[in-house]
Amino acid sequence: GGTWEFPPEGGSIWRYRAHSPVADSINFGFESYRMPEGGELRLLSAGDGSPLLERAFTSKDNSDSHGELWTPILDDDDVVVEAKLPVGVDPFEMSLVLTAVNVGYRGFRGRRNGRERARARRGVRALGGGHNENEERRLSGACNVDVECQAGDDWRDEIPSVAVISTSGYLSCSGAMVNNVEQDQKPLFLTANHCGVRKGNAGSLVAYWNYESSKCGNLPPDGSLTQFTTGSTLLASLSKSDFTLVELDSKPDSSWGVTYAGWDANAVNAAWAVAIHHPNADEKSISFEYDPTTTEAAGAEVRVRDWDLGTTEPGSSGSPLFNQNHHIIGQLWRGSAACDN
């Protein structure tokens, strides 16, 4: 599919348009991605041709381990995939096998849907008299505490280590960058086993960094998903303690300030504990348990009796649990926490 163009000045351009008028979002999965040196792939709004991402995909995104490329979720309903090759590069040197075009059926993050955002970019008035900004709300409970609130001040070093992830094209869980004994900034990422990252789909993992509200309690929510890394390789997982460890294909850009969280594997209960997470895949939150944790299931579970400030929800799964020393002692995998519990 798609069309080729060969400009008179040389080089070549391939374009593919995906338009779903009922979509709230679109993302793409390439089963095979191989970009020659000097080539680039961009995702553009079909309405005005503006780029939907801050960067292009290049040869640096080629993966020798899985050979795939998965894009972040895009707030649009009409997208052009454009690949440009420079003069002297044969189109047969490029491999793009597009096997997944995923369309969202409802607006994730509780925000107005992609087609309304696309209309706004194109200056087209929405049906029914326009858009009410108050409709841009959160899916997570009102008792969640934004990391920008004062409660997060003592955790500014750990907060940037946490990301929300999508796998195979949909937002699912939280996770965190973790340090190693070499302290060489190897991009190791911890999440939960039940989040479904497996050897066969680890290449589709997209991690979104610094997805946070700009102010404490900010409504409408204004977090951005523009800072992302794509692709990973599964290193280890275990259902008993519900952990998964992957190595990301690339380190987060240094300008994003992503940190590598420390951890403690000793079987010692925390005097008190903190979770940093993305409840319902919303902007990043922080929760506090002021009582000691307990250990159950022959050491495989660290139990938080209840959250004294904030809560955890679906989407928080895989998020790191820190002890009072700011070290990870586990990752979230189950429970009945809620704002009314």
Does the annotation mark 278 as catalytic?
A: no
Q: How does the average pLDDT of the chain come out, rounded? A: 89
Burial class (CB in 10 A: 0-12, 13-18, 19+), 4: exposed
pLDDT at position 299:
64
Does the annotation mark 242 as catalytic?
A: yes
**β-pair type (243-248, 188-192):** antiparallel
Closest CA to 164 of 243, 81, 103, 108: 108
Domains of the chain from N-terminus onward: 3-103 (2.60.120), 150-331 (2.40.10.10)
Looking at the predicted structure, is the pLDDT value of residue 292 above 50? yes
Options 194, 241, 253, 326, the catalytic residue: 194
Options 76, 78, 242, 249, the catalytic residue: 242
Average of pLDDT values for 41-65?
95
pTM here is 0.89
Does the annotation mark 19 as catalytic?
A: no
Q: How far apart are CA 311 and CA 142, in angstroms?
A: 10
pLDDT at position 267:
84
pLDDT at position 303:
87
Tell me which of 140 and 72 has the higher pLDDT.
72
The CA-based dihedral angle spanning residues 286, 335, 243, 326, taken in that order and rounded to the nearest 10 degrees? 30
Looking at the predicted structure, is the pLDDT value of residue 297 above 70? no
Q: How far apart are CA 98 and CA 308, in angstroms?
A: 47
Options 161, 172, 285, 317, the catalytic residue: 317
Exposure string for 60-95, b = 16+ CB within 10 A, e = fewer: ebbbeebbbbbbbbbbbbbbbbbbbbeeebeeeebe
Q: How far apart are CA 258 and CA 209, in angstroms?
A: 7
Handedness of CA 310, 314, 315, 320 (dihedral sign): positive
Tell me which of 208 and 222 has the higher pLDDT.
208
Average of pLDDT values for 231-236?
98
pLDDT band at residue 134 under the 50/70/90 scheme = very low
Q: What is the pLDDT of residues 63-117, one digit of tens each?
A: 999 999 999 999 899 999 999 999 999 999 999 999 999 998 765 554 444 455 5
Order of strands across the sheet that contains 26-34:
69-70, 26-34, 95-103
